[in-house]
Amino acid sequence: MKVRANHKRAQRPAQRRGAITGLAALMLVLASSPAFAYLDPSTGSMIVSAIIGIFASVALAVKTYWYKLKGLFRGKRGPAPDEDTSGEA
């Protein structure tokens, strides 16, 4: 029972810190003034192409590491160095 009380006591500062950070972020968003800025069509196109590039990069990274992780769990490895793979006796 004593361990649980200490565990809960240790979590309280982290929870308070998260709540304070969230409250500060909300206040910053609500207190911002509107930006009267002009975005021309080429800026919109640039933003769309950047978003597509980010998604493509993330997809490639996931694909690369997914196959490495899958190979690790399947245990696929090359033949041992002392094994003869030529088939000659």
Contacts 24+ apart (CB under 8 A), 4-8: none
* Confidence at residue 55, expressed as pLDDT on a 0 to 100 scale: 97
pLDDT-derived band of residue 86, with 50, 70 and 90 as boundaries? low
| pLDDT confidence of residue 82 | 60
**Tokens coding 52:** 């597509």
pTM (global) more than 0.85: no
Read off the pLDDT of residues 10-61 as tens digits, 9 standing for 90 and up.
Answer: 566 777 888 889 899 999 888 878 778 888 889 989 999 999 999 999 999 9
